[in-house]
Amino acid sequence: MGELPEISERGVLYPRRLPPRFQRIPATGPVSELVVWWWIAEWNEPPGSTSRQDLLPFPGCNLVVEQDMVGFSGPTTRASHRDLVGTGWAVAALLRPAAVPAFTSDPTSVRDSYVPLSVPELHSQVAEAVAAGDFDDAVARLAAWVTARAGAVTGEARLANSLAEMAGSNSSVVTVGDLAAALNVSQRTVHRLAEQYIWLTPHALIRRRRLQEAAEHIRSEPEVSLSSIAAAHGFSDQAHFTREFQRFLGQTPRAYRGASGHHS
């Protein structure tokens, strides 16, 4: 695939455990209104071996074409994991909010869930490209399918995209009021858009970004104190940071630093 732009490993809790091939490729062109990025993984685990991939996923939905199925992963409310065994591959899309209504009318049914989709034509198209070793073509086929499935993007859907982007990338946004002001809409509109298109509260979106950034900070700068990291990411004190981190990641920041290969 040639040289790819560098994309942060944010959301991957243990990058060292990633399979030999793992790529995030920014979506470009018109489909970028529907997809944040494509991600590709291939693995070949020895018999009896399991590679656990621990994640604090981005607060969005993923459409995943795998070796033997197509799945739709709803938004998550906590850290999660995927166990890789044997030989396999995945070609997937992290969907923007504008694409999500095309896949389900019952948001609560897919939260914290991974459900199979009966779309054999999509699977056969992508699997054919993967079998030929052409992952560029696999992504192109997935892009064409998502575009056809989602249809035209409305102005409201674009606003929902902006909401997700702002909450997920702008470190100056720490409250729902900040988010509403940045989008020049009311807080009520922010809540409505989040409920309709993202299925998580605006506060949850902001908190996810802060925890992802903090986890990445812990990994990348092991010499920085945890109290400094807590302050850098807007937590009132280290105790608050520890409670939030343990609640959503299932371990304390200190334990995570040790598990990441660094001592506290």
Q: Domain residues of the chain, as ranges?
A: 15-150, 156-259
DSSP 80-133: EEEEEESEEEEEEEEE-GGGGGGT-S-GGGTTT-EEE---HHHHHHHHHHHHTT
For 155-181, b/e burial (b = at least 16 CB within 10 A) is eebebbbbbbebbbeeeebbebebbbe
Q: Grade residue 9 by pLDDT with cuts at 50, 70 and 90.
A: confident
pLDDT tens digits, 75-127: 988 888 888 988 999 999 999 999 999 998 776 788 889 999 999 999 999 99
The C-alpha atoms of residue 241 and residue 179 are separated, in whole angstroms, by 21
pLDDT at 52: 87
- Answer yes or no: is pLDDT of 207 > 70: yes
- The set of long-range contacts for 106-109, using a CB threshold of 8 Å and a minimum separation of 24, is 107/74, 107/195, 107/199, 108/199, 109/74
pLDDT tens digits, 16-55: 888 888 889 999 999 999 999 999 999 998 988 888 888 8
Fold of 156-259: Arc Repressor Mutant, subunit A (1.10.10)
Summarize the confidence of residues 170-185 as an average pLDDT.
94
Which DSSP state fits 160? Answer: H
- Answer yes or no: is pLDDT of 3 > 60: no
Q: What pTM does this model have?
A: 0.87
